[in-house]
Structure 1
Amino acid sequence: MTHFSPIPPTAAPAAASARPAVEFRSVCKRYGSFTAVGGVSFAIETGTLVTLLGPSGCGKTTTLRMIAGLEQASSGSILIGGEDVTGRSAAERDVSMVFQSYALFPHMSILDNVAYGLVVGGMPKRQAAEAARAKLELVGLAGLEKRLPSELSGGQQQRVAVARAIVLEPRVLLFDEPLSNLDAKMRRRVREDIRQLQQSLKLTVVYVTHDQEEALAVSDRIIVMSGGEIAQDGSPRDLYERPASRFIADFIGDANIVPAVLDGRDGEIGRFRVGTAALALPHRGVSGGIVDLAVRPNAIRLSGGTSSEGVPGCIRYAAYLGDHMEYEVAVTLGGKEMMLFAAIPDVEAPFAVGDAVTVGFAPQGVTAIPA
């Protein structure tokens, strides 16, 4: 695996300004009667990687394009480095974008691809080539300067696109679904490289993806969008462990949404029942009675046979995935049959389809969902 070269201490920028690198103030984008982004407000601190995450059509790419100046806001204000750039063109915003397609010039060497923006901006060719060569070394492509894009792998082309963006030394670097053209193993490697580079150079990055695992892996902060609005904004751990809604719990990683009864509270801890299984965990302000819990697949515990201390179930599907088993377990909760998805590390004595089991729950990986 190729990693980015280590960054010398002098390469890091000055201490982050108190002003946000990017700020949206009640920004709205309309296309006729359709509102793609509605009244969105957020601030992105200098030197952080913030991901805009959400399903297709949620408004995340439109938001990114408004930062870049490729779309104009219908209302509200967009600030970059404390300056209002709402009415400015893309060329006047001091941002660079790494596109989903990479958009490399096929007839140019990778050195010329990286130097192109500097040359167009008026820098002498020799100076631009030196700067481009330095950035190619930074992203682990030293020695490949004369190759054409077609002679590189997908991961190497992605690095060229990154080098071409950072050689301009933008205030903000934008990534639009940057890993969608790579296979699963290469996506993991390149996302590690992007994160390492961002942290080493203290770059301000706004990153768009629909892949929850990718967002959890690279981000300082995640802004989840739904229907053109912000559904939740927080750290990866906050979103995964403390989802603010059923949508977030279901969208960020796999989760089983199960009905439970809140029997009482002891300070911040609630006493919950899932069928006959008892759980003590933070109640997060939910009221008494029937509530929803988000249960991660690895929080489910399975034992053979039936027991009064858990929920009786039946294995309906079993799959061996090397280091764990995946099961679908039919249970009855709240008077309705439902399927629970479980990830169990025991692969030595797996359950078979049709086996009767008792379902239990580990407190870690279970959270109450606020109404």
Structure 2
Amino acid sequence: MALRRFDIEAGGDSFAFKPETEPNIEFWLGKYPEDKKRSAVIPLLWLAQKDNDGWLSEPAMRTVADRLGMPYIRVYEVATFYTMFKLAPVGKYHVQLCGTTPCMLRGANDLKKVCEKKIGKKMAVTDDQRLSWEEVECLGACVNAPMVQINDYYYEDLTPESLDEILGKLGNGVDVEPGNFVDRLNSAPEGGATTLKEDTLYNGSRNSVKGLPNLPESDAEEEPKSEAKGKPDREAPTNVDREEPKEEKLEAAEEGVEATQDAEKQIEGTRPEPLEIDGKQADDLKRISGVGPKNEDQLNSLGIHKFSQIAAWTPENVQWVEGYLSFRGRIERENWVGQAKTLADGGETDFSKRVDSGDVDSSREEGED
């Protein structure tokens, strides 16, 4: 590993954490006993870097050492070892360009040329202090290569043209939305998904399936056959597209609803009573440990909106919901009912406190910082 030294002259003589950072510091210190609080050195160095325009000055490292009661040299050792810590000033927008093999094979070297053209040599900072860049090892987004991380966000599936446009906008003070820069969602195929598109894969209607595919013939249910031997009892699709009459579409939709209802009837246990309420009256079910945004949506679709409803679940209700959500044993294991009783009575749990303070990523609303 290359020798890394911090910039003494650029760091000034003093550093202080921002007032709004203090709750985060207390959160991390609260994770460790008083005599083990030096275990928080990495998160506190990260917070110091955030408060110091993206890099660690020597006074910032000393401040962290004083907070943790550590010798200065021990903090310096940590800061100089991990490349996540920058030891010299960086731009307002610091670009970390992945140059590891998958990104290199997909064009990372061409992206480097763009950075050199728009910014300069590695770790150079533009005269207006807006942009800087460096090459880093794998950032864990190989499927979306080539990509860069700018401050805290990923910009993926890049081309020299798209990166040039991104840097041009950031250089002019215009924010750029992170994410994919081709027509695909996350790491799905370009143009949209081509397989696993059936709604029944995700709506719980398949929970009633009792058998497994590809079982021996003696155990597997035979597929209905037509009179012609070996031919499935259905018409093969033709090459001629046709629009189904509205009556057929309506019948198909009604059959789908009936199939879902039949599937629900086959789930063991008793379905909880639904509750129809105004959306503003609903509780934030994500304050229950184990209930993320997706689980909350599924519960809401069942008419479950209040802590008091979950608190009143019987063992038969728990069994039914676990069957519907394919959560065998999870609700009891994570104590949803006990948590809901505490929250319904106006109390708090350790998890709900973390949600309320914004420390649980999966409980934040989409688009929230």
TM-score in terms of structure 2 length: 0.24
Compute the TM-score of the two structures, normalised by the length of structure 1: 0.24
Q: Which has the larger radius of gyration?
A: 2
By percentage of residues, which structure has more strand?
1
